[in-house]
């Protein structure tokens, strides 16, 4: 299918623009439900729920289309929104715990310094910054609402105050140093040490977990002071709970680039890759300057888009991503990029992308329609009824061979029944290993 030349592509674009407009017709509410109760074991595998150094409490909360988890650990208690974020935090908790234990055996002085710097063992809440546009905690209700229909419209909206903070005095996006970049040491040698330690321990140097930042800074200073073994602790964790694309080559390429390159060098690398795809300069510069995304997020998304070679309109993902307001929504877009790449690798090659406000639709070479959503939870409400009934009608009118929904999280049983009745193939927990 020639994506750019067919009326089907234009129809899809117009249709998704229409989705953001409130429905005028009142549909039947016979099957509509309130946000359902979901058990923790329905969402995460047991290996993530508990280990020797952490436990996720059973009081799973629904916040809009996201779950909020409480993670108790020796390093403190974390209130964590979203499945992608809780997976990241658990990885950090396990890594820090094992690394400190290793230093306790080999370098008690360094282990004591790390424990003191991180303030572990107090049981207090952990200071985690989730919004690079605000020095405080993220307000989840700012970008999600109580159903998928409103979330499609609201997921990436920012307030006027946020927009002013995101722009510099000249009005250009990303002109000020963002939260992520501020954690890199001014000294380039110390910054290089910090990147090397992060690579060795598989930690994100741009993590918003303040204890990770203190941990990395402490080890970087130790290396800079002549302790070459600082950061060389052996850490053995279970297999990662999420799938990798292209046998892990993409993840390896991103980790290597983050370890070896400065923020400016990553910008240049990503710019060259996006430019080679034919994406217009205004779009890729806006994305690469966006303060909600860390250099790692930008590099991940760019690398996944490179992997989608042959897919038309790859810039649609960047256009949708410009609506991100904080780290949680930024993580959602990185997961959308990975879901598309994984589908492209394992199911069917993608033909083209269309952005629908904050979400993406893809078509495949076999004429399938694939909707990608970064939500933890969906249930059957008046808005999901409206959206998916319209999507089903749209798919019928355009003769798609198959209509699929890729979801980060889960749906209610009622939602599954209704989607099946509208001929949707639902792929829940799409990136989690079975």
Please report, for the chain, the start and end positions of each structural domain, with discontinuous segments joined by +. Answer: 3-35+261-427, 40-224
Mean pLDDT, residues 9-24: 45
Quick: pLDDT tens for 208-230: 999 999 999 999 999 988 887 77
Half-sphere exposure of 12 toward its Cβ, with a 13 Å CA cutoff? 28
pLDDT in tens, 355-394: 876 678 999 999 999 999 999 999 999 989 998 998 999 8
Q: Is the pLDDT of residue 154 over 60?
A: no
Residue 13 has pLDDT above 90, yes or no: no
Instruction: Kindly give the residue spans of alpha helices, DSSP state H, lying in 38-120.
Output: 46-49, 83-106, 108-118
How confident is the model at residue 74, as a pLDDT?
85
pLDDT of residue 141: 30
More confident residue, 351 or 129: 351
Q: Check whether 295 has a pLDDT greater than 90.
A: yes
Q: For 37-67, write each residue's pLDDT tens digit.
A: 999 999 999 999 999 999 999 999 999 999 9
Closest CA to 153 of 317, 335, 358, 354: 358
The answer to whether residues 36 and 379 touch, using CB atoms and an 8 Å cutoff, is: yes
CA distance 352 to 334: 18
How sure is the predictor about 176, in pLDDT bands with cuts at 50, 70 and 90? low
Query: How far is residue 357's CA from residue 152's CA, in Å, rounded to a whole number?
Result: 7
Sign of CA dihedral 14, 19, 24, 28: positive
Model confidence at 134: pLDDT above 80: no
pLDDT class for 236, splitting at 50, 70, 90? confident
Q: What confidence score (pLDDT) does residue 119 get? A: 74
| Residue carrying structure tokens 């923020």 | 263
Q: How far apart are CA 334 and CA 309, in angstroms?
A: 17
Average pLDDT of the chain? Answer: 83
Mean pLDDT (whole number) for 143-155: 39
pLDDT at 290: 96
pLDDT above 70 as % of the chain: 79
Tell me what the mean pLDDT of segment 301-313 comes to. Answer: 97
CB-based contact 78:54 (threshold 8 Å): no
- Indicate the angle between helix axes 249-260 and 295-307, nearest 10 degrees: 140
């Amino acid at each position: 299918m020639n994506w750019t030349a067919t009326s089907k592509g234009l129809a899809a674009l117009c249709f998704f623009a229409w989705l953001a407009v409130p429905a005028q017709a009142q549909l039947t509410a016979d099957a509509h439900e309130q946000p359902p109760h979901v058990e923790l074991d329905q969402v995460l595998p047991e290996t993530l729920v508990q280990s020797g150094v952490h436990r996720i409490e059973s009081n799973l909360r629904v916040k809009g289309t996201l779950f909020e988890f409480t993670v108790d650990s020796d390093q403190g208690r974390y209130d964590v929104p979203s499945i992608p974020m809780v997976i990241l935090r658990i990885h950090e908790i396990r890594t820090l715990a094992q690394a400190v234990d290793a230093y306790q055996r080999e370098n008690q002085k360094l282990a004591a310094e790390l424990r003191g710097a991180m303030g572990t063992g107090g049981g207090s809440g952990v200071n985690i910054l989730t919004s690079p546009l605000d020095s405080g905690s993220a307000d989840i209700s700012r970008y999600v609402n109580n159903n998928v229909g409103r979330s499609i419209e609201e997921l990436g909206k920012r307030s006027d105050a946020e927009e002013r903070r995101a722009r510099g005095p000249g009005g250009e996006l990303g002109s000020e140093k963002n939260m992520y970049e501020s954690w890199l040491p001014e000294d380039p040698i110390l910054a290089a040490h910090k990147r090397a330690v992060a690579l060795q321990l598989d930690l994100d140097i741009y993590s918003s977990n303040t204890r990770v930042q203190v941990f990395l800074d402490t080890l970087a200073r130790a290396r800079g002071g002549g302790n070459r073994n600082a950061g060389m602790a052996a850490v053995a964790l279970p297999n990662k709970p999420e799938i990798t694309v292209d046998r892990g080559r993409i993840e390896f390429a991103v980790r290597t680039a983050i370890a070896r390159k400065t923020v400016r060098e990553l910008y240049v690398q990503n710019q060259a890759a996006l430019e080679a795809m034919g994406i217009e300069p205004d779009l890729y510069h806006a994305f690469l300057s966006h303060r909600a995304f860390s250099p790692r997020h930008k590099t991940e998304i760019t690398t996944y888009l490179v992997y989608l070679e042959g897919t038309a309109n790859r810039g649609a993902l960047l256009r949708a991503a410009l609506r991100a307001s904080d780290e949680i929504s930024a993580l959602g877009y990185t997961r959308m990029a990975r879901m598309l790449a994984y589908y492209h690798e394992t199911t069917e090659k993608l033909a083209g992308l269309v952005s629908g406000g904050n979400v993406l639709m893809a078509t495949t070479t076999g004429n399938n329609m694939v909707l990608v959503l970064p939500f933890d939870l969906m249930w059957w409400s008046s808005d999901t009824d409206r959206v998916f009934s319209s999507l089903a009608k749209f798919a019928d009118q355009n003769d798609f061979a198959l209509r699929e929904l890729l979801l980060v999280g889960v749906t209610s049983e009622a939602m599954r029944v209704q989607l099946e009745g509208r001929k949707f193939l639902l792929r829940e927990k799409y990136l989690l290993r079975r």
